[in-house]
């Protein structure tokens, strides 16, 4: 290349580089729809051989239409959805994905084991509680912790947190900020809040059955192939906490959100499908079997999840390993089953295992059902930019910078959304 051309090329490159780092370029970057960082994709593919993180390798797929009934008829009015189509989808998810809950009658009691009346400098009353479930002379109990604002002017909305990591005892929750369950923040924002640990309900391990509530209901008999599994059992427990909350006149039982992260986020979505009393479901980094579309087979797949966590899903789900296209449902229909109530999905940009794009796509694919039920929801096929929450009507979404986890920024964006629906 002649020297003057080389100079010119250098000048061009420098001009381009400076344009890229200019404030305008940064502002543009901040508005650009999120997409996975190619360097991260490369790194992750090297780390986990056989896992797809490359967008162009996502198989072509057609999602099942939530508004096409099993007999092929179009569901054109809300009355048809409410009278039959919703039940058809519930049956498919129960039989093929999460399992059926038991039908036995049981009684439930709530026992207060400790109380702090001046938690958070007097802002809240905190209680240690036990939910005691009885069938004949047998009983099963699990603990939860509850905080209620002290000086509210009337019944307050509440957030039930499914803790898939550890149990946070009352004293700890009252004295130490934990971004996984920031009880004080919730109180300061005007919410009552309760939290329980999943393993206290159904141990989170493949051989944990005997020690959990599922075995209690089955009186020790092994689970049938389509019986409920851990995710459904944990969601059931969230409903039992709601039973208690509904009985209190300080909390408005019609304004309760259920929140979970990862396996807890899969649980919060399904909990809200099974229990129409939940006003909002928030799923954080829930991925495969949660918000993410199974048919994308991006990051964690049906094969991986049902192999590694056989106690989460009922047996038939594992039969769709590498045959996702044959699933009679996909995860956008879990979101559709929560409509017209609120759904908020959150991803994080380093957590490609959970397939952020597939989580967002399933939220938008549920839009026709929100619309049928007379509600607005996110329809924009382009993902929002990083750290730019998007809220439309009954749905919200954000993708946060950082890794797999639930923390203060997630809570703050979620609570802004909850405020818009519950306050
Ligand atoms: C992972 C699992 C995910 C997600 C996560 C979690 O190992 O593959 O589906 O649920 O655990 O719960 O943190």
Give per-residue pLDDT as tens, 75-114: 999 999 999 999 999 999 999 999 999 999 999 999 999 9
- Closest C-alpha residue for ligand 1 atom 10: 263
Give Cβ neighbours of residue 91 (< 8 Å, ≥ 6 apart): none
Is the pTM higher than 0.85? The answer reads: yes
Query: What's the gap in Å between 346 CA and the centre of ligand 1?
Result: 15
300 CA: nearest ligand 1 atom: 8
Q: What is the pLDDT of residue 10?
A: 38
Q: What is the b/e burial string over 181-192, where b = at least 16 CB atoms within 10 angstroms of the residue's CB?
A: bbbbbbbebbbb
> Does ligand 1 come within 6 angstroms of the Cβ of 287?
yes
Instruction: Report pLDDT for 20.
Output: 44
- The residue count of the chain comes to 423
pLDDT per position as a tens digit, 227-280? 999 999 999 999 999 999 999 999 999 999 999 999 999 999 999 999 999 999
Q: pLDDT at residue 414 above 70?
A: yes
Binning pLDDT at 50, 70 and 90, where does residue 5 land? very low
Residue 154 has pLDDT above 80, yes or no: yes
Which residues are registered as beta bridge partners of 148? Answer: 125
Q: pLDDT by residue (tens digit) across 342-358?
A: 999 999 999 999 999 99
- Whether 126 lines ligand 1, by a CB cut-off of 6 Å, is no
Share of the chain above pLDDT 70, in %: 93
Q: What is the pLDDT of residues 177-234, one digit of tens each?
A: 999 999 999 999 999 999 999 999 999 999 999 999 999 999 999 999 999 999 999 9
- Looking at ligand 1, which residue's alpha carbon is closest to its atom 5? 262
The domain ranges of the chain are 1-31, 78-422
Hey, which residues are catalytic here? Answer: 262, 404
Cα 287 to middle of ligand 1, angstroms: 8
Nearest atom (ligand 1) to Cα of 404 = 13
Residues 376-387 pLDDT 10s: 999 999 999 999
Confidence (pLDDT) at 30? 75
State the average pLDDT for the chain.
Answer: 95
The mean pLDDT of 21-49, rounded to a whole number, is 85
Q: In terms of Cα–Cα distance, which of 68, 106, 63 is closest to 84?
A: 68
Q: pLDDT tens digits for 267-317?
A: 999 999 999 999 999 999 999 999 999 999 999 999 999 999 999 999 999
Pocket of ligand 1 contains residue 288 by CB under 6 Å: yes
Q: Which CATH number fits domain 78-422: 3.30.70.100, 3.40.50.1820, 3.90.1150.10, 3.40.50.300?
A: 3.40.50.1820
pLDDT of 26: 64
Q: Cβ contacts of residue 334 below 8 Å, gap of 6+?
A: 93, 269, 270, 273, 290, 291, 362
């Amino acid at each position: 290349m002649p020297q003057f051309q080389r100079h010119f090329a250098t000048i061009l490159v420098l001009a381009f580089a400076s344009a890229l780092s200019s404030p305008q370029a940064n502002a543009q970057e901040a508005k650009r729809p999120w997409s996975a960082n190619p360097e991260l994709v490369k790194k992750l593919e090297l780390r986990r051989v056989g896992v797809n993180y490359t967008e162009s390798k996502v198989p072509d797929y057609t999602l099942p239409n939530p508004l096409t009934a099993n007999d092929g008829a179009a569901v054109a009015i809300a009355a048809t959805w409410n009278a039959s189509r919703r039940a058809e989808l519930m049956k498919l998810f129960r039989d093929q994905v999460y399992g059926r809950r038991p039908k036995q009658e049981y009684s439930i009691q709530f026992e207060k084991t400790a109380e702090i009346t001046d938690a958070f400098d007097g802002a809240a009353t905190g209680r240690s509680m036990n939910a005691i479930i009885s069938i004949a002379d047998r009983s099963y109990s699990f603990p939860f912790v509850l905080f209620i604002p002290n000086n509210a002017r009337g019944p307050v909305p509440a957030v039930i947190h499914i803790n898939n990591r550890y149990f946070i005892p009352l004293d700890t929750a009252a004295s130490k900020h934990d971004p996984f369950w920031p009880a004080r923040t919730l109180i300061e924002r005007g919410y009552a809040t309760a939290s329980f640990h999943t393993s206290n309900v159904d141990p989170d391990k493949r051989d944990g059955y005997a020690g959990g509530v599922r075995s209690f209901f089955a009186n020790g008999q092994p689970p049938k192939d389509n019986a409920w599994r851990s995710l459904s059992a944990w969601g059931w427990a969230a409903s039992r906490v709601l039973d208690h909350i509904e009985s209190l006149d300080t909390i408005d039982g019609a304004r309760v959100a259920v929140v979970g992260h990862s396996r807890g986020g899969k649980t919060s979505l399904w909990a809200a499908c099974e229990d129409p009393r939940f006003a909002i479901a928030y799923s954080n980094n829930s991925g495969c079997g949660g918000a993410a579309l199974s048919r994308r087979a991006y990051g964690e797949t049906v094969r991986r999840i049902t192999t590694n966590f056989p106690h989460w899903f009922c047996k038939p789900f594992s039969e769709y390993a590498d045959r996702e296209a044959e699933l009679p449902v996909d995860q956008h229909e879990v979101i559709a089953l929560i409509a017209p109530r609120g759904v908020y999905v959150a991803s994080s940009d380093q957590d490609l295992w959970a397939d952020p794009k597939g989580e967002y796509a399933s939220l938008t694919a549920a839009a026709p059902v929100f619309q049928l039920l007379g509600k607005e929801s996110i329809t924009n096929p382009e993902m929002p930019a990083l750290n730019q929450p998007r809220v439309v009507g009954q749905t919200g979404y954000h993708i946060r910078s950082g890794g797999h986890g639930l923390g203060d920024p997630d809570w703050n964006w979620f609570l802004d959304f909850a405020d818009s629906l519950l306050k």
